Structure 1
Amino acid sequence: MTVNCQLLLVANDIEHANKVASAVQKQTLALEKKYNFYQADSWLNKAVNNRALSQVHLEPESLAIFTRVRELSQASQGIFDICVGTIKKAATQRPQLTRAQLFAKYQDAMGLASWQISGNFLQFNNSHTQFDLGGVVKEYSVDLAMALCKKQGITAGLINFGGDIISWGRKPDNSAFRVAIQHPKVVDKICGSIALSDQALASSGHYHRQFNYGAEQGSHILAGQGVAQQVLAVSVLSQSVLTSGVFSTALSIEPTLVNSRYAQEHIKAIFIDEAMNFHQDIEFLSNTGCIKHSLKEAI
């Protein structure tokens, strides 16, 4: 992975802990290779994005991933969309098109209506649909890494893959693990911290990374309606990093999703506004009258 990956494992046997860490590394690198949107020979590109037919057979691991991603995408009311790969590929192939033109042209190749799962098959309704699992695989790999650690007898630890974090158990002094929240405007600066107790944390923001649509530049969070400009960043707590990752992205686009039934029951969100204030709800948005969306978007 191109991000810093950290494992903090609480164990009495250092040799065993090192073996577990090596197993986590091997497992994670295999997932990255298999589902890498930017690697031409990845399984994702060879079998799915360069498919010859309208359906692709899924082995158990991929079936589990796509099934869960679809469930969470539905829970986000379709706001989280792995079909952003469609826009990424089209923007590269058609640099003359503006952002608005790209989203208009490929609208039918985006969203939950463009694909479904039937039995062990991934089915497509549009030949242009491309998947980018960049907002999925890293998060999923953290959840899977914790499962591996637990299976190997590691009773407490913290895993952090580039800000996608999960903890289980407690530190040797019986205190909770505490993690930093990245400053949304200043790289390598923190703006707060939070204690995690058997919880997962993922954050999304739209200031550091950019995406190019020909001569246009916008947020790396790709969405037809853009991102909510009053929200600099969103951190989400849940029981899995994948859930937190999906909803931190979705809430960056549509903050009102936090009031949905699923969100109320399964996540807790922390919003950072333009003045660097922290909020656990979206009442601060009412002060601006409406939610403004940037027309410069991203993944």
Structure 2
Amino acid sequence: MHSNRPFVHRFKAMTVPCEVQLFGSLKASQIAEMIEQNTRRLEQKYNFYSKQSWLTRELNQRSGQSVLLDDESLVVFQTLKNLVKGTAGVFDPTVGSLKWLLAKNASLSRAQVYQMAQPMMGEEAWHLEGSQLCISHQETRFDLGGVIKEFAIDQAFNLAQSLGVTAALINFGGDIRVLGSKPNQEAFNVAVVNPNDPTQAFFSLPLANSALTTSAHYERKTQFSDEQTSHILSDKGTHPKVLSVTVVAPSALEAGAISTALTIDPLLPVPDEVGVIFIDDQLKIHQDTEFLTQ
């Protein structure tokens, strides 16, 4: 493999197209295959919609109020708890409770679903005691769809780095993490799409040793009996002036949780090492929140 050209591997997982670009390794094809296999493993394990997944069988269909977590799941939920706290509870993996209620009764209105789900959701609905995940409400359901893709990206990054890859770009459906820079020392240039026309690039950013995710509500919707809303679920809805939020952070998991939370509450404080770009309802780009008061 020529050192200045990447080995490119493409596949589809977690409902999105995935691309892995690897530089600087003669074993790039084997590493890319390992990344794909691990991504598919995570998809099977944590799939909210699969009756056979660990998430469904062991956690969401639990018989008691606690579940013993394996080492990997413990890391996932420890990280989730930190992200929930860091976003003041706006990012909420118990949103699966809403989806579970809707699946049981599609005639429920939006207000009815949120009222019924309220006791099942939120930061106080679950906690960790050692390796035990403790859940106070029997009907609480966890949906990790908003984090496992990013977790898989971070694992792909770690795998590539541990096996000697000198530079890499991991892109799962527009959520991206970059290792190093290109062999010519240029940063990877990453495009962010127009929220009103996702087939068109709107702006681009240089990335090196960082992750980028974009949260928006132009692709998927949630249907209640009385209205259709963004797939990003919150009792107060997504902010009407925010069409999309792009976040650059050290890890894909952190970037994804923050970008999702900021579509709901764009005034949330973010860590110093995190960069944020908003696209407003007039298709204007902002790096601060002054536009919210204009």
- TM-score normalised by the shorter chain: which range applies? over 0.9
1:182 Cα offset (Å): 1.4
More strand by share: 2
* 1:104-119 pair list within 5 angstroms: 104-119=115-130
What does 1:1-299 align with in structure 2 at a 5 Å threshold?
1=13, 2-13=15-26, 16-257=27-268, 260=269, 263-287=270-294
Any conservation in 2 of the 1:185–1:208 contact (CA below 8 Å)? Answer: no
Q: Distance in 1 between matches of 2:165 and 2:225?
A: 48
> 2: CA distance between counterparts of 1:267 and 1:27?
27
Q: For 2:275, give the aligned amino acid.
A: K
Contact 1:231–1:274 (Cα < 8 Å) also in 2? yes
Asked if the contact 2:25–2:165 (Cα under 8 Å) also holds between the matched residues in 1, the reply is no
Task: Using structure 2 for the length normalisation, give the TM-score.
Answer: 0.94
Which secondary structure state, in structure 1, belongs to the residue aligned with residue 52 of structure 2? Answer: coil
Deviation, 1:30, is: 0.3
The size of the alignment, in residue pairs, is 281
Q: State the distance in 1 between where 2:248 and 2:46 align.
A: 25
Larger mean Cα displacement after TM superposition, 170-179 or 206-215:
206-215
Unaligned runs of 5+ in 2: 1-12
Q: Structure 2 counterpart of 1:266, which letter?
A: E
Given that 1:91 and 1:214 are in contact with CA atoms closer than 8 Å, whether structure 2 keeps it comes out as no
Residue aligned with 1:188, SS: strand
Cα distance per residue 1:251-279 (max 9 Å; x no partner): 0000000xx2xx14231110000111111
Q: Is the 8 A contact 1:155 1:168 kept in 2?
A: yes
Aligned equivalents of 1:214 and 1:130: distance in 2? Answer: 21
Partner SS for 2:138: coil
Unmatched tracts of structure 1, length 5 or more: 288-299
Moved over 6 A (4+): none
In the TM superposition, what whole-angstrom CA distance separates every residue of 1:271-295 from its partner, at most 9, and x where no partner exists? 00011111111001110xxxxxxxx
Cα deviation digits, residues 32-61 of structure 1 (max 9, x gap): 000000111100000000000100000100
